[in-house]
Amino acid sequence: MILAWKEIKNNKAKFSIVGSIILLISLLTFIISGLANGLSQDNMSLIKNFPDGTFYMAEDSNNSYAQSRIDEKKQMQLLENGEYSFAFSLQMGNLKIDSNKQKNVSLMTYTDNKYYQNIDNGEIVLDHSLKKEGIKAGDQLSFRQSENSFEVAGFVDDARFNHSPVVLINQNDFNNLFRTQAFQIVFSPIFNKDIDGLNAYSNSEFLNTIPSYQAEQMTLNMIVWFLIIISGMLFAIFFYMMNVQKLGMYGILKALGIRTNTLYTMIWTQMGIITVSALISSALLSQVFQSIAPTSMPYSLPLTSTIQLSILFIVVGFMGATLSGIQIKRIDPLQAIQQGEA
Amino acid sequence: MSQLQLEQVRKSFMNGEVEEEVLKGVNLTLNKGEVTALIGSSGSGKSTILSIAASLQPLSKGRIIFDHQNLVELKPEQIRKIRAQQYGFVFQQSHLVPFLTVEEQLSLMLDIAEVKGSKYDKQIEIKNVLEKVEMTHRQSAYPASLSGGEKQRIAVARAIIHRPKVLFADEPTASLDSKKSNDIMQLIQELTHSLEMMTLIVTHEEEMLEYTDRVVKMSDGEIITVN
Ligand SMILES: Nc1ncnc2c1ncn2[C@@H]1O[C@H](COP(=O)(O)OP(=O)(O)OP(=O)(O)O)[C@@H](O)[C@H]1O
Ligand SMILES: [Mg+2]
């Protein structure tokens, strides 16, 4: 619409200030949301890469996998479902890299299943991030927890738990290391089958039982929401202030017979032009940030998140602009005519 | 013959606790191709009549007949449409849109009035009207770069570009010197005759009456003489 565009063209400074503030806020939002996502991958990619399904833990576990002991009969009952269900356990351990260097790892063991390879006695499979420590297939490594040494049989991608690399290990070796028998968790791809004495969790519910994960993500997501709400308020305030300056002009146009909808369309168009150009710039800048951020900084912003956040910004901007436009409906043309030239 | 008629129009305002009657039963008829001047002392109710006639504010009692309809009974959206398509306005100040060029002001008015026609036709129409107000040379100028008289000429052009039946002007020359005032008044009278509009002008200045066809004098909310 010509009115909307011509006004932006003739008031470049005013509109670019609004645009750059939206740009900065959305850039900050993108970066923080990229960090939230990067951190959650770094923290829990093992669980995040599970297929959708149900996690079962013992009812008396206080929602903590570490305290959960699955009753053997119930485990059998669940695993009847077939090769896509399995029981597993996780424990923190310390991998000796060399004589004076250790690394925190999460050891994981499981019953036979279709997702994870079988590990032989005396062997381990490591998350690929441990390659950076100079570890190769065939190396002999041991844990602080025992004298036995294990041969590195291979590596897997994106297996991290509690911000540490995951080590896959055979069930007997695991039981010897940690002196346990029972599994902690059963995973089943079937949804919501209630079992007496067990609690069922969806993937995201299970993730949120892990305190470090929940605290981390909640904080960051709260900041993201906060920024989105602030940007909506900024929109409302900026457009309100710009509208106040233009009430006289709107009143005259109403006296001439302009439709109120045309004026709203003008505000929406301007909001759209400013937001979309600010969002495109900040999406590009956030990609630049991704490429220059230090590798030790977990940062990952998938395109879908960028698009989802952008749509949210547009919706919030739309609401802000509309809210600021309510006054347009109430303008009295007569008052505008009697006032001096705007 | 089409006319705009006010019949027994009354208007009261609440002044604190007391109701004050500002218009006390006004009858007024505007005729095609005729400039009607509305004069009278300050506070006699001239602006109030004009804005009620133009449906810019409601009346307390009475009827406004236009095109065989009583406008008082119409819905706001119908009134808006009539204002956009059948009425033209010149205000005391030009009230142009600051960020549109002269050409664009006129094109906007054509859009508001929902005038049909090709872009080319509209371009021609804009040129014609600019010729009528002798402003062709400033068609790409922004309001800020126009003089007061030039602005008012563009305001007149905007008021007539969509060929309204009625032209309303409340003290259109109040902010101009007397030479320019004469020019604007003459322009309005010529356009009223050539485009056969019904024109209602409120004015303070005696010497402007030279450019009007009929004078209506008001006093204290009533019409006292017509000649
Ligand atoms: N919105 C309003 N509320 C209360 N009183 C009003 C209102 N508008 C006008 N009046 C009163 O109505 C009377 C007529 O006002 P109006 O503006 O029509 O006068 P006028 O003849 O145009 O005067 P002027 O020559 O000074 O412009 C005045 O006494 C004015 O105070
Ligand atoms: Mg007046």
**A265 inside 8 A of chain B by CB:** no
**A258 inside 8 A of chain B by CB:** yes
- Predicted complex ipTM exceeds 0.90: yes
Say how many Å lie between the CA of residue B60 and the centre of ligand 1.
Answer: 15
Question: Tens digits of per-residue pLDDT, A59-79?
Answer: 999 999 999 999 998 898 888
How many Cβ atoms from other residues are within 10 Å of residue A63's Cβ?
Answer: 16
Cβ-Cβ contacts under 8 Å, A256 against chain B: 83-84, 89, 109, 112, 158
CA A303 to chain centre: 12
Say how many Å lie between the CA of residue B176 and the centre of ligand 2.
Answer: 16
Strand, coil or helix: A2: helix
**B64 inside 8 A of chain A by CB:** no
* Rounded distance between C-alpha atoms, residue B210 and residue B212, angstroms: 6
CA B80 to chain centre: 15
Query: Which residue positions in chain A have pLDDT lower than 70?
Result: 1, 81, 191-193, 340-342
Pocket-testing residue among B14, B44, B48, ligand 1, by greatest number of atoms within 8 A of Cβ: B48
Give pLDDT, residue A159: 94
Whether the CA torsion B169, B171, B173, B178 is positive or negative: it is positive
What are the b/e assignments for A120-153, b being 16+ CB within 10 Å?
A: eeebbbbbebbeeeebeeeeebebebeeeebebb
| A337/B109 CB distance under 8 A | no
Give pLDDT, residue B69: 94
Cβ-Cβ contacts under 8 Å, A259 against chain B: 80
Domain ranges in chain A are 2-44+214-339, 53-201
Give pLDDT, residue A228: 87
Contact in structure between A258 and B84 (CB atoms under 8 Å): yes
How many Cβ atoms from other residues are within 10 Å of residue A71's Cβ?
Answer: 16
Domain ranges in chain B are 3-226
* Rounded distance between C-alpha atoms, residue A24 and residue A28, angstroms: 6
* Right CATH for B3-226 from 3.40.50.300, 3.40.50.150, 3.90.1150.10, 1.20.1250.20: 3.40.50.300
| A257/B112 CB distance under 8 A | yes
Give pLDDT, residue A77: 86
Ligand 1, residues at Cβ distance < 6 Å: B 13, 22, 40, 42-48
For the stretch A71-76, contacts whose Cβ atoms lie closer than 8 Å and that sit 24 or more positions apart, written own/partner, are A71/A182, A71/A197, A72/A182, A74/A186, A74/A195, A74/A196, A74/A197, A74/A198, A75/A183, A75/A186
Give pLDDT, residue A342: 39
| A337/B170 CB distance under 8 A | yes
**A253 inside 8 A of chain B by CB:** yes
User: How far is the alpha carbon of B114 from chain A, nearest alpha carbon, in Å?
Assistant: 10
**B165 inside 8 A of chain A by CB:** no
* Rounded distance between C-alpha atoms, residue A324 and residue A270, angstroms: 13
What are the b/e assignments for B164-174, b being 16+ CB within 10 Å?
A: bbbbbbbbbbe
Task: Tell me the C-alpha to C-alpha distance, in Å, between residue A323 and each of A17, A22, A252.
Answer: 20, 17, 21
Name the residue at shortest CA distance from atom 31 of ligand 1: B43
Torsion angles phi and psi, residue B11, rounded to 5: -145, 130
* Rounded distance between C-alpha atoms, residue A222 and residue B1, angstroms: 70
- Give the distance between the most distant pair of CA atoms in chain A: 93
- C-alpha R_g of chain A: 29
Q: Which atom of ligand 1 is nearest to the CA of B48?
A: 18
Q: What is the pLDDT along chain B (227 residues), one digit of tens a residue?
A: 678 999 999 999 998 899 999 999 999 999 999 999 999 999 999 999 999 999 999 999 999 999 999 999 999 999 999 999 999 999 999 999 999 999 999 999 999 999 999 999 999 999 999 999 999 999 999 999 999 999 999 999 999 999 999 999 999 998 899 999 999 999 999 999 999 999 999 998 888 999 999 999 999 999 998 87
Q: What are residue A156's DSSP bridge partners?
A: A127
* Rounded distance between C-alpha atoms, residue B12 and residue B24, angstroms: 9
Concatenate the DSSP letters of all residues of B155-221 into one string.
Answer: HHHHHHTT--SEEEEESTTTTS-HHHHHHHHHHHHHHHHHTT-EEEEE---GGGGGG-SEEEEEETT
Contact in structure between A189 and A52 (CB atoms under 8 Å): yes
Residues 6+ apart with CB under 8 A from B110: B122, B125, B126, B161, B162
Question: Tens digits of per-residue pLDDT, A215-258?
Answer: 999 998 899 899 888 887 887 888 888 888 888 999 999 999 99
Give pLDDT, residue A236: 80
